[in-house]
Chain A
Amino acid sequence: MGLLDKFKRKKIEGIDDSTYLTLREERRISRENTKTIKEYERIRNRKNVSEEEYLTQMRDPANVVEFDNLHTYFFTDVGTVKAVNGVSFDIPQGKIVGVVGESGCGKSVTSLSLMQLVQAPTGQITQGSIRYQDEDGKCYDVTKMPRDKMLRIRGKDIAMIFQEPMTSLNPVFKVGEQMDEVILLHEEDSTDDSARERSIEMLNLVGIADVKKVYNSYPHELSGGMRQRVMIAMALLCNPRLIIADEPTTALDVTIQAQILELLRDVKEKINGSIMFITHDLGVIAEMADYVVVMYAGRIIEQGTVREIFHEPKHPYTIGLMRSKPGGHVEGDRLYSIRGQVPNPINMPNHCYFYNRCDKAMDICKRHYPAMTQFNSDHRAACFLYSDEILPEEKEDKEDGEGR
């Protein structure tokens, strides 16, 4: 493959446009990664972290979770992937926050960071904090929390629902056993009987008709929609304060999706919890969310209440996404489309990431990354179209300047 191809390529175009790294670059990246990862792992693996270190104060006590300037990087073989690059948003108590974006925009990594489930050692939270407030009003910084402490929160206070329920259920155990186990693990005063009772109660809650049968069946015996219901029931077992739903309906059919969405809304009311709803489907977001966060290439480009985002989208990317959805189109009209490809957040340049795909790109867009412009208390967008201030050169250069 290797050598011969390089000649061939040059022949056809006369330019070197190899998409492959040279050996030297590869070595350099490897070396740097080893060094950085070692440093982060050392901090992560410390023993006996005192509680003061990760106790903090919430910015607004009405929030369950606050993401504050979160940076999650992956130190991969091809370079540093800035999967989450300075993300700040809040999840208020009892609300649904929708996170939208295309593949590789960092929406899933954001939620995994909150769960401390980022694939170490390549993935590391390098900067920022995630504040979580528990029932007693105690506030923790998840990024600094030791892993054993996190175990108590994960799955109990914060539960997660995944896209493909089949892979998140263990195929060799019965559904009921798996549910009981969660309770027995998290609730100290629970017995086998009480756990069973609770599991069945939850299965009832998610609208499963034949509860006994489902309780005693293996995951593969259930249909996709049923499995997702079981997953939701499982997430509800320990009265979570926050449910992270990562594309929970993407693998389901429309009619089943409608069922599950309705169920999630019901459930939220019943347990008075919050939901962080991650999806790429704008329709689902419009239906579910109270607040919307639009992500692109690891950054938030626009956020606001659902009405603001859908009725007065500001960022050209948000506008483009809305317009490129077919439906409600005039006959024979060409569909609006955003040109170009979805970027992979490696070696991002020091300018607006959407510049090359944007219809309204200006000169300044190629020189700086736009700051967030505040439209009202909730609605913000990162675009130069709305920022009237001219940013001083030196301030920008410092931020995010290491475009390799």
Chain B
Amino acid sequence: MAIDTEKGKKPDYTDMEDHIETDLEQNFRVISPGRMVTKRFFKSKLSIVGLAMIIFVFLFSFVGPFIINHTWGYKETQVFKIERNADMVSTAEFKGPDGRTYDYYDRSKTLVIFKAPPSRDHWLGTDTSGFDILTRLMYGGRISLIISFIVIILETFLGIILGGLAGYFGKWVDQVIMRIVDIFACLPGLPILLILSATINSIESIPAEHRIYYLMAFLTLMGWTGVARIVRGQILMLREQEYMMAAETTGIRPLNKIFRHLVPNTMPQLIVSATLGLGGVILYESTLSYLSLGVPFPRAAWGSMIALADPSRGQEILAYYPNMWVPAGLLIVIAVLGFSFIGDGLRDAFDPRMKR
């Protein structure tokens, strides 16, 4: 075909036979695919509930700390000593110089540093270390969400690359990658995480603050296999589409084919699986923190806050101080459920079979 000589000029298309664009061909507009998805998403009540839950958790964990910092000046690891009148404490007797026996009454005020009940200053009270529970819930949520997002992004990235290569190239590449996936998938996740975390805890050269990064790396390693499987499956399906054959006939580079044609088309599934995965990571992180293998102690985490009620440390907190562990548990439930609801809603919204 002759190369256009009138370079840069606006092409003259007035002579085009079809140019007589009429009101009949442009007589209606469609809904853009993005809006279609939004529309279908909001059709389901459950996904709206899920969205509300997640928005609440986000505001609570990311805006909350600022507010509480500015209004009360509370910090994550600030110890609060609560004043308490202790004016009838001692019944110790001692002999006076006059030979009579006196009772000892201590009328002074003591400062108790733990287990304050909910009050105006501390809406949810303070815990065994004298930390404000509400504040710690906020910080704990922040760390949980950050960890889960980073982990999900990393594992999706890893999964896309490996799954994409496996699905596209097939043959031995597929065999190798999928066998690795199989191996990872058959490892029991939780025990391995426990062992690894415990090992890291015992290595002294690793500072406690860095433990969290290792934790994220482990969670990523455990999670990418699911993504890789989804991507590979999708790509195997999409590879048979005629547009892939068209890409082959036009001689486009394999890498372009994978990452421009195939991967973008797996996005809906990936978004769904990532959303559903977020809840899972939060659960994992909480479990580890509960076993004090996750986020290290002075930092707050929902898991470790629930751990205060661990019966092995005595029944007292479990029985008499619900303010210490119930809110953390509730927040975990809200976060996990919220992500699940959103994920389900998104899946239905993306699924073309739902099209009406």
Which residues of A does B touch, CB under 8 Å? Answer: 1-2, 17-21, 23, 25-26, 76-79, 122, 339-341, 343-344, 346-349, 353, 355-357, 403
Contact call A78/B29, Cβ cutoff below 8 A: yes
Does chain A have a CB within 8 A of B354? no
Besides A1-B32, A21-B31, 18 more A-B contacts (Cβ < 8 Å) are A2-B32, A18-B29, A19-B29, A19-B30, A20-B35, A23-B35, A26-B39, A77-B36, A78-B29, A339-B20, A340-B18, A343-B24, A343-B27, A347-B27, A348-B24, A349-B24, A349-B27, A356-B22
Residues of the B chain whose Cβ atoms lie less than 8 Å from the Cβ of A348? 24, 27
Contact call B24/A78, Cβ cutoff below 8 A: no
B86-128 with Cβ < 8 A to chain A: none
Q: Which residue of A lies closest to B32 (CB)?
A: A20
Q: Give, as a whole number of angstroms, the nearest-CB distance from A134 to chain B.
A: 34
Contact call A21/B24, Cβ cutoff below 8 A: no
Does chain A have a CB within 8 A of B33? yes
Residues of the B chain whose Cβ atoms lie less than 8 Å from the Cβ of A76? 356
| Majority secondary structure, B binding face | loop
List the count of A-B residue pairs having beta carbons below 8 Å apart.
70
B5-41 with Cβ < 8 A to chain A: 17-18, 20, 22-36, 39
Contact call A1/B34, Cβ cutoff below 8 A: yes
Contact call B39/A77, Cβ cutoff below 8 A: yes
Partner of A78, one of B18, B22, B30, B34: B30
Q: Which residue of A lies closest to B29 (CB)?
A: A21
Contact call B25/A356, Cβ cutoff below 8 A: yes
Residues of the B chain whose Cβ atoms lie less than 8 Å from the Cβ of A344? 27-28
Residues of the A chain whose Cβ atoms lie less than 8 Å from the Cβ of B356? 76-77, 122
Report which residue of B27, B36, B356 has the largest number of chain A beta carbons within 10 angstroms of its beta carbon. Answer: B27
Q: Give, as a whole number of angstroms, the nearest-CB distance from B20 to chain A.
A: 7
Partner of A2, one of B24, B26, B34: B34
Residues of the B chain whose Cβ atoms lie less than 8 Å from the Cβ of A356? 20, 22-25
Partner of B31, one of A78, A122, A355: A78
Which residues of B does A touch, CB under 8 Å? Answer: 17-18, 20, 22-36, 39, 356
Contact call A353/B28, Cβ cutoff below 8 A: no
Inter-chain CA distance A343–B26, complex, in Å, is: 9
Report which residue of B18, B24, B34, B35 has the largest number of chain A beta carbons within 10 angstroms of its beta carbon. Answer: B24
Inter-chain CA distance A348–B356, complex, in Å, is: 21
Q: Give, as a whole number of angstroms, the nearest-CB distance from A194 to chain B.
A: 40
Q: Which residue of A lies closest to B23 (CB)?
A: A349
Report which residue of B17, B20, B23, B28 has the largest number of chain A beta carbons within 10 angstroms of its beta carbon. Answer: B28
Residues of the A chain whose Cβ atoms lie less than 8 Å from the Cβ of B18? 339-340
Inter-chain CA distance A25–B29, complex, in Å, is: 10
9 closest residue pairs by CB, A with B: A356-B22, A346-B28, A20-B32, A21-B29, A356-B24, A347-B27, A347-B28, A343-B24, A341-B25
Residues of the B chain whose Cβ atoms lie less than 8 Å from the Cβ of A340? 18, 20, 22, 24-25
Residues of the B chain whose Cβ atoms lie less than 8 Å from the Cβ of A347? 27-28
Inter-chain CA distance A356–B24, complex, in Å, is: 7
Inter-chain CA distance A68–B20, complex, in Å, is: 36
Residues of the A chain whose Cβ atoms lie less than 8 Å from the Cβ of B24? 340, 343, 348-349, 353, 355-357
Inter-chain CA distance A79–B22, complex, in Å, is: 19
Contact call B22/A21, Cβ cutoff below 8 A: no
Q: Give, as a whole number of angstroms, the nearest-CB distance from A387 to chain B.
A: 21
Residues of the A chain whose Cβ atoms lie less than 8 Å from the Cβ of B20? 339-340, 356
Q: Give, as a whole number of angstroms, the nearest-CB distance from B263 to chain A.
A: 16
Inter-chain CA distance A355–B29, complex, in Å, is: 20
Inter-chain CA distance A19–B20, complex, in Å, is: 17
Residues of the A chain whose Cβ atoms lie less than 8 Å from the Cβ of B27? 343-344, 346-349, 403
Report which residue of A17, A122, A353, A356 has the largest number of chain B beta carbons within 10 angstroms of its beta carbon. Answer: A356
Residues of the A chain whose Cβ atoms lie less than 8 Å from the Cβ of B31? 20-21, 26, 77-78
Partner of A1, one of B25, B28, B33, B39: B33
Q: Which residue of B lies closest to A18 (CB)?
A: B29
Q: Give, as a whole number of angstroms, the nearest-CB distance from B205 to chain A.
A: 48
